[in-house]
């Protein structure tokens, strides 16, 4: 948690962009799409934890 999580996701995003560009240029477009999807899922998994945390916290604070 904190700013390093933001930077990690940004780094993954940039990595995915670069990989996508390289794979597209070398003609392997389906692999490019798969790496994009994989990166998306990885970031989603990183985020889901925090979102669940958010909802639990809101529940405790606002006395659900």
Partner 1 sequence: MAKDMEIVQVVGIGIIATITILAIKTQRPEIALQLGLISGLVIFFMLLGRITSIVAMLNDFAVKSKIDMQYIGLLFKIVGIAYICEFGSEICRDAGENSIASKIELAGKVSIMAMALPVVTALVNFLGGILS
Q: Under the rule (CB under 8 A), what is the footprint of partner 1? A: 1-3, 5-7, 9-10, 12-14, 16-17, 20, 36, 39-40, 43-44, 46-47, 50-51, 53-55, 57-59, 61-64
For residue 61, give Cα distances in angstroms to 1, 35, 57. Answer: 19, 39, 6
**Main-chain phi, psi angles of 62, to 5 degrees:** -95, 15
**Least separation in angstroms between CB 10 and partner 1:** 5
Measured from the CB atom, is 23 or 39 closer to partner 1?
39
**Least separation in angstroms between CB 21 and partner 1:** 8
User: How far, in Å, CA of 58 to CA of 64, rounded?
Assistant: 8
């Amino acid at each position: 948690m904190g700013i390093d999580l933001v930077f990690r996701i940004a780094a993954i995003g940039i990595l995915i962009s670069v990989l996508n560009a390289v794979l597209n240029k070398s003609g392997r477009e389906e692999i490019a799409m798969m790496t994009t999807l994989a990166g998306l899922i990885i970031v989603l998994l990183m985020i889901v934890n925090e979102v669940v945390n958010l909802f639990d916290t809101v529940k405790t604070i606002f006395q659900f």
